[in-house]
Amino acid sequence: MTQSFARVKQTFEQRSMYDAVVEGNYMYHAELVATLATWAREQTQPLRIVDLGCGDSWLATHAFPYANVAEYHGVDVSEASVADAQKRIAIWPGRASVVAGNLAEFLHGLASDSATLILASYTIHHFLSDAKTALIADCFRVLVPGGTFIWIDAVRHEDESREGYLSRLTNEMDRDWTALTPDQRAVACTHVRESDFPETRSWMIQRVKEIGFSATSTILETDFFQGWAFTKP
Ligand SMILES: C[S@@+](CC[C@H](N)C(=O)[O-])C[C@H]1O[C@@H](n2cnc3c(N)ncnc32)[C@H](O)[C@@H]1O
């Protein structure tokens, strides 16, 4: 199975499936909003946020509506999501933008030391291992010293193959994700099988540390999905 942005784009051009996932809280968006809002309250400097694979910017606009946001720049491959995001980011007039494109290219075009927060929520698992490593290195470059990289993603168990993870997750989706219509569940499961490349927690933490980040806090810890905040020293 190979990485295909065209397939990912096709899935997320139909917003309704992922809207139902968020609405059903199957990927713990309610918990993420609470944790990210608490994290933002602890920050003393204005936030200059880069949101990779931002979707419709639901997460950032729900987590940071009261934060001191100096800048917000989102990118997503789905044009339908970007159109919805552009409405949501109106809460930050004149300080926010969202563009359609490949997040790796977008990140590569950003100046070094230009962001205080890079948020990558449920998006890096669409890249293969080497591309993930290159992306994280570029996040390190773009962050200011003291900046934060928040990585939330699909995570396999330490002894679990990709196939094992995908069948465990799609079984649960088929059984429990009842806020989705049967057609939406079929689309979601096909997407996961074709385009998800989850890593283990130890692989993720080791790569991030090798690149130079230090671990700060846990953002999410569940059986399928986890997240951490890392600091650029
Ligand atoms: C599971 S959704 C996550 C959306 C949002 N970040 C959240 O946490 O709810 C994954 C998003 O990443 C986007 N995406 C996946 N690969 C991408 C890429 N290479 N470049 C830009 N966006 C990408 C998809 O279009 C989709 O909106």
CATH number at residue 153: 3.40.50.150
Please indicate whether residue 76, judged by its CB atom, sits closer than 6 Å to ligand 1. yes
* Positive or negative torsion for Cα 78, 58, 139, 71: positive
Tell me the average pLDDT across 38-55: 97
Please indicate whether residue 126, judged by its CB atom, sits closer than 6 Å to ligand 1. yes
Residue 103 Cα to ligand 1 midpoint, Å, equals 9
Structural domain span for residue 58:
5-231
Residue 76 Cα to ligand 1 midpoint, Å, equals 6
Helices 15-23/79-88 angle, 10° precision: 50
Lowest mean pLDDT among 7-21, 66-80, 84-98: 7-21
Residue nearest to atom 26 of ligand 1 (CA): 55
Q: What token pair was written down for 144?
A: 């200011």
Given this model, what pLDDT does residue 230 score?
Answer: 98
Q: Give me the phi and psi of 152, to 5 degrees please.
A: -115, 130
Tell me the average pLDDT across 57-61: 98
The residues near 76 (Cβ < 8 Å, ≥ 6 apart) are: 12, 53, 54, 55, 82, 85, 98, 100, 103
Q: Tell me how many domains the chain contains.
A: 1
CB under 8 A, 24+ apart: contacts of 215-223: 216/148, 217/39, 219/32, 219/35, 219/36, 219/39, 219/150, 219/152, 220/28, 220/31, 220/32, 220/35, 220/152, 222/28
- Return mean pLDDT, the chain: 96
Query: pLDDT class for 15, splitting at 50, 70, 90?
Result: confident
Contact at 8 Å (CB) between 117 and 142?
no
Residue 52 Cα to ligand 1 midpoint, Å, equals 7
Using one digit for the tens of pLDDT, what is the confidence trace for 102-159?
A: 999 999 999 999 999 999 999 999 999 999 999 999 999 999 999 999 999 999 999 9
Whether 31 shows a pLDDT value over 90: the answer reads: yes
Given this model, what pLDDT does residue 3 score?
Answer: 72
Rounded to whole angstroms, how far apart are CA atoms 96 and 201?
A: 32
Given this model, what pLDDT does residue 216 score?
Answer: 80
Whether 169 shows a pLDDT value over 90: the answer reads: yes
Given this model, what pLDDT does residue 4 score?
Answer: 78
Rounded to whole angstroms, how far apart are CA atoms 131 and 126?
A: 10
Please indicate whether residue 132, judged by its CB atom, sits closer than 6 Å to ligand 1. no
Please indicate whether residue 198, judged by its CB atom, sits closer than 6 Å to ligand 1. no
Please indicate whether residue 150, judged by its CB atom, sits closer than 6 Å to ligand 1. no
What percent of the chain stands above pLDDT 90?
94
Tell me the average pLDDT across 41-47: 96
What percent of the chain stands above pLDDT 70?
99
The residues near 200 (Cβ < 8 Å, ≥ 6 apart) are: 155, 156, 157, 158, 160
Given this model, what pLDDT does residue 100 score?
Answer: 97
Residue type, 149: F
Please indicate whether residue 55, judged by its CB atom, sits closer than 6 Å to ligand 1. yes
Which burial class, exposed, middle or buried, applies to 16 when counting CB atoms under 10 A from its CB (0-12, 13-18, 19+)?
middle
Whether 1 shows a pLDDT value over 70: the answer reads: no
Query: pLDDT class for 52, splitting at 50, 70, 90?
Result: very high
Residue 54 Cα to ligand 1 midpoint, Å, equals 6
